[in-house]
Structure 1
Amino acid sequence: MGLGWFGAPEHNRWLAAETHALLRYARASAVPAGFGWIGADGAVDPNHPVELWITGRMTFCYSLGALMGIPGCRRYADHGVHALSTALRDHDNGGWHSAVHHEVDEQGRGTPVDPQARKEGYQHSFVLLAAATATAADRPGAHELLRDAMAIQDRYWWDERYGLTNESYAADFTDPEDYRGINAAMHTVEAYLATADVTGDVRWLERAVQIIDFAVNLQARGNEWRLPEHYDTAWRPRMDYNRDEPAHPFRPFGATPGHGLEWSRLTVQARGALVARSLPVPDWMLSAAEELFDRARTDGWRVDGGPGFVYTTDFSGSPVVRERMHWVVCEGVSAAAALRQALLDDGRGEIDVELYEHCYRSWLDYAEEYLIEAPGVWTHELDPQGRPSTRTWDGHPDIYHALQMTLMPRLPVWPAMGQALAEGRLDEPASPLPVHAQQPRRRGFFSRG
């Protein structure tokens, strides 16, 4: 079968060119209080405030750019760290505001859009991810931001009773919401994996694996690999949640194939972290990641005669919301790359990875044909006929999923992206030796020679 696209110099050049273009395009999102929402015209949309999740994601992205040595990225990473440390921080109650206005006061503080708005675990997970990745890049203030974000996770978001995460609180961290969501838990897994790698504290990895065990090994496995999204406070599934608002951008009804793909990738990455630390590896992890991938592919991809992945299905696999989200394709490409590499790391042969290589090529071809308007400019949502849609999203809110998609094929499944780049592992996708057997590596992009 040969090398194919993976590792081919010209393909890696295409991925790298898209990485650069995304980071260049997204510079337009910088505003005094953080990063704004880019509209369809390529400029910040003044109708959207500075949202915590977008600023966290953009800080993560520019920290990756800084680690790769892409000129200009350091100042945007530093801008993000400063915004998270000052403008978006709740200096009265702790934690971070969900949204602030674009401008800041003379002390650099932002004005909350709604001072009584709830604090969300989903949004706080991106503060932790950004802080961990900026710490890997050794950006000013990042270490202190990471320390604070870890403390907030310990105090409010990690629920030791269930080994899972809390969803939201009132602005002063009272009145916990009587809802639990798998989306917030999923992004917390990503943040915990990055934190474990940059700090060396295995506690964060253990927490991530606990969440994955519940979501993947229990809930997805128990529902034919269609993962319920919504739960009560005892983490019992609420299968009809938001049936009357099926296209909700964060809490849609039913199963979400894109999240199945994302959980597949995260399961592979957590497994890689356990292997690297010579910790016990549950025997279900790799096969479960493959099952999640296969269910998402068969339920979501071209199932209604049109190109692309449907957004959601019911629990029999029938499409519910048929819009095509760009992030789903991005997560499919990333999951295909991660699974392929994990199988190769385990000594599986070309026959075992052929499906993932086929999906990888097909989904990138789809992205190039339908989603990439110009280098670095992705349409975030399409209708079932492949035309731009704004049913759920408008404009170009962030580059988080697309940027990761351009890097996942070029990196090992472990460590997390920030730490992998800090260790100079770009274009070295084979998993490194276990931690105890590694030789020290120089940090930063100068280690590439």
Structure 2
Amino acid sequence: MTDSERTADGAGLPWAQRPAHRLWVQERFARMIDFVQPSVLPDGGFAYLGGDGAPMAGREPSLLLTARMTHVAALASVLGLPGSERLLAHGLSSLDGAFRDEVEGGWFGTLERSGRKTAYEHVHVVLAAASALAAQAQGASVGDPRALAREATRIVEERFWREDEGALCESWSATWEDPEDYRGANANMHAVEAFLAIGDALDEDLWHERALRICERIVDKHARARDWLLPEHYDAQWQELPDYNSDNPNDPFRPYGATYGHLLEWARLLCALHASPRVATPAWVLSAAGDLARKALSAWGVDGREGLVYTVGWDAKPVSGIRLHWPVCEGIQATALLGALTGEAEWERWYRRLWDHAAAYFVDSTGSWINELDEDMREGFAVWPGRPDVYHATGAYLAPLLPAWPFMTVAATTLT
């Protein structure tokens, strides 16, 4: 069989281009949308679901999960999945009402309407608004997501963006006082995604330019200097805090040390930035994406068990050996994009390996993913019990089927 014949009949195609693979992931995404239907709460937000799909007792709805669910629902709406516009309308209503601070501006992290206002949560509101705009452009009747987008970008620009730093500050009190003496890579990483999304949704290049500036600071400067073991924590002058949270290695948002899943997530976002025509990206952007992904995947099974550990210290030795679902999801997306952009065969091998690992340990018959594995490779409950967050799984299912640019909720129109 010649190479052209092999390509023609599909045998030589990457998995993400094969009809059966594409059908498999889209069908499981549809199952997952069915799974989350019971999460709608009458007083606003979405319930924290357990593995049985029922709301978990003692878990309150949050701004973060509400914004992420709104983004996922918008994608499902573009694809035409029944139930998605109900989820989308509820998410937008919650963001415009239950979580919104109409007095001081911005959004509260919980329905208790108290606590600090964080960049991490606010950039997810931007992401939700961007996806809702894309869904509205495809005919979804969802109110006024453009007003939400304008308000969310205004708050991020006025309260969190630091032009002199080319990055975001971390958090404020509820009345926009007492700025936190901390800078975090995690919030800024999600800002890159939100900025790429809103730049496409609003047709504004500025947001992609800002995304590049964040990557220049954190990836090209700090990660490169650490041989791609990216530091997560900094003070307000962007001095690294290598011992931050050393006594709390399983923290869900600010764990000690380096996080391999974040290296893969940065790799995914750098691929999207590289592909964007809205900003002139230097050659290091795509190169760094490959370097970060290789750094993470080279540690596969480092503690003798299949998969990626949660965190490592600066000697690259495991600190937290639990396995979380989201690094696998991010690895699937990053390797698919790197394979498509570079044509290098190593990424296709990793893409298949990651999906096999996911199918063996994480993907449930409902399409949802087990959030966490303990040291016996069984479902764990130390960091993220239950099935509250379908954002990363959505990316794993859909991003490999789409081009690196434009933003995925816009690009998803090609799957309809």
TM range (shorter): over 0.9
Q: Which residue of 1 aligns with 2:134?
A: 136
* One of 55, 59, 73 as aligned partner of 1:48: 59
* One of 48, 72, 90 as aligned partner of 1:79: 90
Q: Which residue of 1 aligns with 2:80?
A: 69
CA contact (8 A) 1:121 1:167 kept: yes
Report the CA distance between 1:39 and its aligned residue: 2.0
Q: Counterparts of 1:31-180 in structure 2 under 5 Å? A: 31-32=41-42, 33-100=44-111, 111-112=112-113, 115=114, 117-138=115-136, 139-180=142-183
CA contact (8 A) 1:412 1:425 kept: no
CA contact (8 A) 2:273 2:281 kept: no
Letter in 2 for 1:38: L
CA contact (8 A) 1:82 1:141 kept: no
Report the CA distance between 1:41 and its aligned residue: 3.1
1:40 and 1:21 map into 2 onto residues whose CA distance is 14
1:280 and 1:329 map into 2 onto residues whose CA distance is 30
Q: Which residue of 2 aligns with 1:297?
A: 297
Q: Summarize the Cα distance change of 1:71–1:373 in structure 2 as closer, same or farther, 3 Å threshold.
A: closer
Q: Which residue of 1 aligns with 2:18?
A: 8
Report the CA distance between 1:304 and its aligned residue: 1.0
* One of 10, 20, 23 as aligned partner of 2:30: 20
Report the CA distance between 1:244 and its aligned residue: 0.5
Per-residue displacement from partner, 1:287-336 (whole Å, max 9, x unpaired)? 1110000001112x111111211000111211110000000100000100
CA contact (8 A) 2:372 2:380 kept: yes
2:119 and 2:355 map into 1 onto residues whose CA distance is 32
CA contact (8 A) 1:52 1:98 kept: yes
Q: Which residue of 2 aligns with 1:251?
A: 254
For normalisation by structure 2, the TM-score amounts to 0.94
2:27 and 2:298 map into 1 onto residues whose CA distance is 31
CA contact (8 A) 1:307 1:384 kept: no
Letter in 1 for 2:282: P
2:254 and 2:414 map into 1 onto residues whose CA distance is 36
1:283 and 1:336 map into 2 onto residues whose CA distance is 18
SS at match of 2:206: helix
Per-residue displacement from partner, 1:106-146 (whole Å, max 9, x unpaired)? xxxxx42xx3x111111111100000110111132211111
Q: Which residue of 1 aligns with 2:361?
A: 370
Structure 1 stretches lacking a partner, 5+ long: 101-110, 345-351, 427-444
Report the CA distance between 1:280 and its aligned residue: 2.5
Q: Which residue of 1 aligns with 2:215?
A: 212
SS at match of 1:137: helix
Q: Counterparts of 1:295-374 in structure 2 under 5 Å? A: 295-299=295-299, 301-344=300-343, 352=344, 354-374=345-365
Report the CA distance between 1:169 and its aligned residue: 0.5
Per-residue displacement from partner, 1:201-250 (whole Å, max 9, x unpaired)? 11100000000111111111000100000000011110000001011010
CA contact (8 A) 2:370 2:387 kept: yes
1:206 and 1:244 map into 2 onto residues whose CA distance is 37
1:174 and 1:46 map into 2 onto residues whose CA distance is 34
Residues paired across the two proteins, number: 400
For normalisation by structure 1, the TM-score amounts to 0.87
After TM superposition, what 4+ stretches of structure 1 lie above 3 angstroms from structure 2? none
Letter in 1 for 2:68: R
1:203 and 1:404 map into 2 onto residues whose CA distance is 25
1:209 and 1:408 map into 2 onto residues whose CA distance is 21
Report the CA distance between 1:92 and its aligned residue: 1.7
Q: Which residue of 1 aligns with 2:285?
A: 285
Letter in 1 for 2:294: D
SS at match of 1:50: coil
Q: Which residue of 2 aligns with 1:425?
A: 414
1:63 and 1:55 map into 2 onto residues whose CA distance is 12
Q: Which residue of 2 aligns with 1:409?
A: 400
SS at match of 1:87: coil
SS at match of 1:356: helix
Report the CA distance between 1:281 and its aligned residue: 2.2
Structure 2 stretches lacking a partner, 5+ long: 1-10, 137-141
Q: Which residue of 1 aligns with 2:3?
A: none
Letter in 1 for 2:35: Y
Per-residue displacement from partner, 1:389-437 (whole Å, max 9, x unpaired)? 111111111100001100111100001111212xx333xxxxxxxxxxx
2:61 and 2:104 map into 1 onto residues whose CA distance is 19
1:48 and 1:133 map into 2 onto residues whose CA distance is 26
CA contact (8 A) 2:37 2:83 kept: no
1:414 and 1:227 map into 2 onto residues whose CA distance is 25
Q: Counterparts of 1:372-387 in structure 2 under 5 Å? A: 372-387=363-378
1:93 and 1:420 map into 2 onto residues whose CA distance is 35
CA contact (8 A) 2:212 2:281 kept: no
Per-residue displacement from partner, 1:149-190 (whole Å, max 9, x unpaired)? 011011101111201001010011110001111000001111
Report the CA distance between 1:375 and its aligned residue: 2.9
